[in-house]
Structures are given as C-alpha cells and as structure tokens.
Amino acid sequence: MSQSISNSKIRSALAPNPSISGKNTQQSSLGDFIQETLALTKRLFIQLQRRPSSLIAGVIQPFMWLVLFGALFSKAPSGLFGDDLSYAKFLAPGVIVFTAFSGALNAGLPIMFDREFGFLNRLLVAPLSSRYSIVAASTVYIIALSFIQTAVIVFASAILGAGFPGIAGLSAIALIVFLIVLGVTALSLGLAFALPGHIELLAVIFVTNLPLLFASTALAPLSFMAGWLQVIASLNPLTYAIEPIRYIYGHADWAIDSVVMNTPWFNFSFSAVILVLLAFDALILFAIQPLLRRRFA
Amino acid sequence: MAAAVLIENLQKSYGDVQAVKDISFTVQPGEIFGLLGPNGAGKTTTIRCLCTLAKPNSGKIEVGGIDAIASPKAARQRLGYVTQGVAIDKVLTGRELLKLQAALYHLPKKIIGDRTQQLIEILGLDEYANKKIGTYSGGILKRLDLAAGLLHQPEVLVLDEPTVGLDIESRMVVWEFLQELRSAGTTVLITSHYLEEIDALADRLAIIDKGVVIAEGKPSELKDKLGGDRVTLRIREFTSDDEANKAKQILESLSFVEEVIINAVQGNSLNLIVKSGQSSLSKIEQSLEEVELPTFSLAQSRPSLDDVYLAATGQTIMDAQIAASSTRDLKKEKKQMMK
C-alpha cells in the first residue's frame, strides 16, 4: 500500500509477534496497570484540551456562586454567621465543596458515552491487566479537575475578602476535596455502569445535585435550619467536607484535634471528620463492586 | 500445531432469543477463514464470544490452543479485533488513538512511537495521522481500524463485516491488505454477508444460517459438491403461482434436470439444477414453448456460494438479508451490544 517501505519490511511488520501477542498475561503486573491507566487518563485530558467548554463553565459557575450569593447576603447583620465571620469567608468553603461534588457527580458521563458509542468495547477486547484501570483513569482525571477548580475558587475568594488559608490549611483542604471527590466519583462511575443510558444518568445527577447542596451547610449554618433539615444536613457527607474547611478559613490556629463541626447531637474534631469521609469512601467503593463486576466479568 | 481458532458447539442466547444455536468451526493457522451468512445469522454474536465481549451459554472457544473462556486475557492478547466502525473517539487524532491502543496492549513504551509510525506508513495514513478522527472518510477510518487491530502483531486478526458501507475502491484496498496479511503469516477470520468477498478472499469458509453452521470447507469444494450447473428462469417478471407450478412440473420431467426450486421472494422465479455440460437452455425454452409459457429471462452458470446457501436454506442470502432486516429490533440489539 505504501511505496516508501520495502515489501520484506512490511511483511515482518505484519507477521505475528509472539513476544507481544503471546505475552504471558497470567501475572497482572503493576507496570501494565500504570501504563494503561496513564494512557486512558491522557485520552481524557486530550478531550478536555480540545473541548475545554466544560472546564471553563466549571470555573465560571463557582465564581458566580461566590459573587451572587455573596451579594445576596452582603447586608446580613455582622456576626450572624458566627464569630466575626464575613459571609464571603462563610461561603467559600461551601462553594469549594459543592463545586468538587458537582464535578465528581458528572464523572460517569464520559464512561456512559463510551458505552453508548461502543468505545468501551475497544477497551474491553484489549488485554487490560485490570479493567479497574478504566475506573482509575476517570478518578485521576476528575480529581485533577477538582483541584484546578478548587484553586480558582480559593484565589477568587481571597480577592472577594475571604482571606487565604496557609500552606497547612491548603493541604488540609486538598485532602478533604480529594476524599469527597473520590467517594462521589466512585458512586457516579458505578451508576454509569448500572444505568441503561445517559438520559437516566443525567436524571439521577439532576435530582441529587441541588438537593444535596441545600441539605448541607454550604449556604447557611445548621442553626438556621428547621429541625428535620438539621438531621439531614448532619448526615450529609457534604457537611463533613464543608465544616472543617470553614473552620480552617475562620481559625488560623486550627489543629488536628480542633472541634471543627458542631451538630445538636455530636461534635467532631478535624481527625474525626476525616475518618467519617474515609468511611464514606470505603462504603461507596464497596457498594459499587457488584455493579462493576457485572460489566467486567 | 493447535488450530488458530477453534469453536465447538457454541451457544449464546440474549433473553429468549437464541442468537447462536450450535456453531462449530476450525480456523487453521495462516489461512483466511470466512464466516458467511445474512445479517442476524449469528456471525457477530459468534465473534463477540470469540473476542470475549460476550460470555457463551455453552461451548468451547480456543485461540491458538488457549481456552478463551477460562483465560480471556491471554486470548485478548492474541487477537486483533476490527469491528463495524463504531468504536472510535472522534476527538483524538489517528496517531493518538493508535498510541492509546498500543498502551492498552502493553507494547513496550520504547517501541510505541516507532510501531505506530510503521503502521501509519504501511496503511498509507501519513497524511491523516495527525488529523482528528472525526474528519476521516469511511475508507480511511477502516484503515485506521486495521492499523489499531495490528499494533500488537496478533496471531489472529478478526474482522466483523469490514467492508460494509465502503466504496468499491476502499473495499479493494481492504481485500489486498488482507491478502498481504496472510502472506505475512497472520491468520485472518472475516465475517461478511457479501458472497463475492468471501469467495475472493477466503481459503476456507463456514456458512451460517439462523445460528447454525450449514456448510464448511473450501469455496471450490462446497461449490463442486453441489454439482451440476445452475439455471435461473423467469417465466414473466412476476410469475403467478399456477404458472410457476406448471413450469416446475414440466421441467422436472426433463432428463437432465435434477431439481427445481420455486423462489417465491423473487417473484416466483425458478432455480434449476441441471447436469453440467449440456446445452440445457434451448431445451428448457423449447419445452416451455410447447405448453405456451413465455420466457422472460433464462441464464446458466456454475454454482456459486449463494447456491450453496440456497441449497441448504431454500432462499438466497440477499433474500434472507431482506427478510431479516424487516424483523430485526435494532434498538434491542444495540442494548445487547452495550456493555
């Protein structure tokens, strides 16, 4: 077909090569898993680079939350949101967590489209060392996106008067964002394999997204809420991510054992909150196993 | 030496639909093997089971002596799979897709760049490799699919209806390439509902109908086994049942006529099997004239693969194709394909 290479060269290039096609696939090597995960992650980033609109929207939206909600409560009596906490400072953690949460909730969409367009079949006929690399790639991608969004929100909030947490504070925020994104991404990926199509997945995202925002402490403290909503908000994983970040924003002298979250029933230290988020992740990762296995078997 | 592909008593149902009832065939190393049959015969389901995308209800599948059901990963590593042009990512360039695929087959990182470039050159994709796949034409896309299937130099390349929707020129390119591949020593398993494609390419073939194999062998063998010549007769463009039956009776009494089938789907045309090497046509025309039946068209030929299919099923592949397409539930099939 091409004149630039000799026939014998073409022949050897097309002949079976047992050193690759006859490779021993019995031992699943970590190197293979990393290679395929990186390749799949790279694909997602190439897509992002060529179709950046979702990332741009994902940065503009939280910025608008900050400006609009900030303006909505700008004349609220000072001290209303706790000891000399401005609403900008109060709001920033809510927007950080909510943005990461929304992004993670959408994590399953690319996989759902791969299922619908048949690209997933290309992955499933390949001798992947583990099909969890497909899940891992999506998770790495979504976590990276969330970090980009979080960084933008932290800077924008600083400009809007929320102040700037120190290096330790930023690391703690990164850890919390990581934990909430991990669990929610896993949930969304599980749904992407369980639901019949993208319409259904979008419907689930639609009914989950905003209600979980309003049933958390993102926009108002627990003490403002009706009793029943306080119960729900105290169980909402988002609250466990928002409250420690809010404490960090309000207290430069925070520590691992600081009590960062108060509910009418229990008080949680920073380390206890991290444990709750870890438990949340473990629960979801466990719960999606059957969904993934059904497709990957 | 183990067979390149061995399929034995394969069965696969989707719900209450038995897509594959009982399929067995063997592909020898280094040959082009054709799976011929109308759409809906079970070709794609068989291929999906072979490529480990679907789990058979029962039966045996081996790739180069390896049990593909027990060790799917080893089977996947040995197979290249070129499917019906759906599984692409339009946003990537051809080269990016090839590199992704190379990583999924665990080619050593050092050689991925060179190997990708090599296949781009062999398949004449130089000009397109750095463009987005969304801009490719059908023929270019098929060449990219071929390149992707061959990156890891598989023992067997499996192609599911590789030339559907391609223009004639692109189809020739695919044919020539598959022949080149065979001379390089790669085994090729190709499904098609195009008779001429399987006739031209395949060293051996299996004809599949309604989920079972109805014939297996070399194309020449299968055709010779049928024996005789084929005569297609149309009394009128659309013949009435009465006239067709009348003609059938008369023709069956002729000494050189072995069999007469009325093909209802083709406007009651008559398919005759006659002894080879006879000047049958004039005698047929003559005996029809005697009972005042006209002749609209009359043609004699050596048996084709379609006759092999016709002899086994009573209809031509084209007719089966048309009949199948009216009863297929494409939406449901898409759901089954979705993993």
Residue in chain A nearest B88 by alpha carbon: A119
Average pLDDT over residues B250-276: 86
Residue in chain A nearest B86 by alpha carbon: A118
ipTM tops the 0.95 cut: no
Residues of A in contact with B107 (CB under 8 A): 20
CA distance B185 to chain A (A): 5
Classify residue A244: in a domain, yes or no: yes
- What CATH number should be reported for the domain holding residue B159? 3.40.50.300
Q: Are B92 and A43 in contact (CB under 8 A)?
A: yes
Does one domain contain both B196 and B70? yes
Closest CB to B92: pick one of A18, A46, A126. Answer: A46
Three-state secondary-structure class, residue A175: helix
User: What is the model's pLDDT at position A28?
Assistant: 61
Pairing label, strands A267-269, A259-262: antiparallel
Q: What does residue B62 show for φ and ψ, rounded to 5 degrees?
A: -125, 140
Q: Rounded distance, CA A243 to CA A267, Å?
A: 11
Does one domain contain both B157 and B52? yes
Classify residue B191: in a domain, yes or no: yes
Classify residue A8: in a domain, yes or no: no
Does one domain contain both B254 and B161? no
In chain A, how many domains are there? Answer: 1
Q: Do A2 and B152 touch (CB under 8 A)?
A: no
User: What is the model's pLDDT at position B85?
Assistant: 53
Q: Do B155 and A22 touch (CB under 8 A)?
A: yes
DSSP letter string, B184-208:
HT-EEEEEES-HHHHHHH-SEEEEE
Does one domain contain both B34 and B141? yes
In chain B, how many domains are there? Answer: 2
Classify residue B142: in a domain, yes or no: yes
Which stretches in chain A have pLDDT values below 50? 2
Q: Rounded distance, CA B258 to CA B272, Å?
A: 7
Residues of A in contact with B52 (CB under 8 A): 124-125
CA distance A200 to chain B (A): 14
CA distance B211 to chain A (A): 23
Model pLDDT for residues B32-78, shown as the tens digit of each residue: 999 998 888 899 999 999 999 999 999 999 999 999 999 999 999 99
Model pLDDT for residues A5-26, shown as the tens digit of each residue: 677 888 888 888 887 777 766 5
Q: Rounded distance, CA B155 to CA B31, Å?
A: 11
Classify residue B107: in a domain, yes or no: yes
Does one domain contain both B146 and B276? no
**Residues sharing a CB contact under 8 Å with residue B198, sequence separation 6 or more, in sequence order:** B34, B36, B190, B192, B205, B219, B305
Q: Do B86 and A117 touch (CB under 8 A)?
A: yes
Closest CB to B53: pick one of A14, A21, A124. Answer: A124
For B205, the token pair is 């073939």
User: What is the model's pLDDT at position B300?
Assistant: 87
Domain that holds residue A210: 37-296
b (16+ CB within 10 A) / e for B100-134: bbbbbbbbeeeebeebbebbbbbbbbeebbeeebe
User: What is the model's pLDDT at position B217?
Assistant: 93
Residue in chain B nearest A28 by alpha carbon: B73
- What CATH number should be reported for the domain holding residue B269? 3.30.70.100
Among B217, B245, B266, which residue terminates a domain?
Answer: B217
Model pLDDT for residues B278-334, shown as the tens digit of each residue: 678 888 888 888 888 888 899 888 888 888 888 778 777 778 877 777 777 767 777
CA distance B221 to chain A (A): 29
Q: Do A11 and B152 touch (CB under 8 A)?
A: no
| Biggest distance spanned by C-alpha atoms of chain A | 84
User: What is the model's pLDDT at position A262?
Assistant: 87
CA distance B215 to chain A (A): 29
Residues of A in contact with B338 (CB under 8 A): 115-116, 118
Classify residue A11: in a domain, yes or no: no
Among B68, B205, B75, smallest CA distance to A21 is for B75
Q: Do B51 and A15 touch (CB under 8 A)?
A: no
Pairing label, strands B269-274, B257-263: antiparallel
Classify residue A214: in a domain, yes or no: yes
User: What is the model's pLDDT at position B86?
Assistant: 56
Does one domain contain both B82 and B146? yes
Among B142, B82, B152, B77, smallest CA distance to B115 is for B152
Residue in chain A nearest B155 by alpha carbon: A16
Does one domain contain both B177 and B277? no
Classify residue A265: in a domain, yes or no: yes
User: What is the model's pLDDT at position B265?
Assistant: 80
For A170, the token pair is 């930023």
Q: Are A69 and A156 in contact (CB under 8 A)?
A: no
CA distance B336 to chain A (A): 11
Model pLDDT for residues A30-56, shown as the tens digit of each residue: 899 999 999 999 999 999 999 999 899
Helix ranges restricted to H, chain A = 7-14, 18-21, 30-50, 53-72, 87-105, 108-117, 119-124, 132-159, 167-194, 198-214, 227-235, 237-250, 270-296
Q: Do A121 and B184 touch (CB under 8 A)?
A: no
Residues of B in contact with A129 (CB under 8 A): 73, 106
Q: pTM for this one?
A: 0.85
Classify residue A1: in a domain, yes or no: no
Classify residue B328: in a domain, yes or no: no
Does one domain contain both B206 and B233? no
Helix ranges restricted to H, B35-137 = 43-50, 72-78, 94-104, 109-122
Does one domain contain both B142 and B268? no
Closest CB to B122: pick one of A10, A18, A22. Answer: A10
Classify residue B338: in a domain, yes or no: no
Mean predicted lDDT score pLDDT of chain B: 89
Does one domain contain both B198 and B293? no
Model pLDDT for residues B223-252, shown as the tens digit of each residue: 888 778 888 899 888 888 888 898 888 888
Helix (H) or strand (E) segment spanning residue B234: strand B229-234
Whether the per-residue pLDDT at B97 is higher than 60: the answer is yes
Residues of B in contact with A30 (CB under 8 A): none
Q: Do B155 and A16 touch (CB under 8 A)?
A: yes
Q: Do A21 and B154 touch (CB under 8 A)?
A: yes
Ranges A252-256, B15-19, B189-193, most confident:
B189-193
Q: Do B152 and A21 touch (CB under 8 A)?
A: yes
Confidence of residue B4 (pLDDT cuts 50, 70, 90): very high
Q: Rounded distance, CA A28 to CA A30, Å?
A: 7
Domain that holds residue B263: 228-302
Closest CB to A125: pick one of B76, B96, B122. Answer: B76
